Amino acid sequence: MDNIKHLFINRFKTFALLSTSMAFCIVLLMLRMKLTHSFFYLFLVWNLFLAAVPFAITTYLLSLPKLNKFALLVWFCVWLLFLPNAPYIVTDLIHLQLSSAPIIWLDILMVSAFAANGLLLFYLSILDMKVILKPFFKDKLLNYGVIFILFLSSFGVYLGRFLRYNSWEILSHSKYLITDILNMIIQPYANKLAWLFVLLFGAFLTVGLLVFKNLNNTNKNSL
């Protein structure tokens, strides 16, 4: 309990800003629903909830005084399973093609706000997991591991956006998922657009993490 209290006090500003930012997203969505009488973008709330799951997991793990390796491995696998849901919201920008001209500015603002929150939760969770794993791995190996996770998340986003797989379908539809993944690996040229997405989106996430990390360090040093 003391560890949870200490963590909450240390991260109060982060929690407050995240709550405010996510509340702003909901306000924009409610305004859009009021103006259009449409519930089309209501799925963004669910997507934002899924995006918060990895951050909730790493926050919980940081609150624990001690974590054995087996428990950490289990939590890490669950975390990795849900992690692509956070940057996935960026691809919801694809729905803007369905927006009507008079309110497209509101749709752009709203979806971008949800996407920004998804990325923020993603990067915070990545940095938290790096802190959690630091006692078990050397810094160089950990840095390479983070880059690998970024591109793995990009691959997960592709599976979700274009092949329409959900995180839990690794268990419920594992046969079809494995078949599609093997098909992409065995026939890379036939799936070149898929791999182009994975590489470019992975590079996008990598650059974003570098910027976020450096800005975060700069702000801490200026305090």
Q: Where are the domains of the chain?
A: 2-222
Confidence of residue 157 (pLDDT cuts 50, 70, 90): very high
What does the alpha-carbon distance between residue 143 and residue 205 come to, in Å, rounded to a whole number? 14
pLDDT at 47 exceeding the cut of 60 = yes
Task: Give the per-residue pLDDT at 2.
Answer: 60
Q: Is the sign of the CA dihedral 17, 23, 29, 30 positive or negative? A: negative
**Over the chain, what is the mean pLDDT?**
91
Q: pTM (2 decimals)? A: 0.92
pLDDT at 79 exceeding the cut of 90 = yes
pLDDT for 97-135, tens place per residue? Answer: 988 889 999 999 999 999 999 999 999 999 999 999 999
Task: Give the per-residue pLDDT at 174.
Answer: 83
pLDDT at 222 exceeding the cut of 60 = no
Task: Give the per-residue pLDDT at 169.
Answer: 73
Give the list of residues 6+ apart from residue 178 with CB closer than 8 angstroms, or none: none
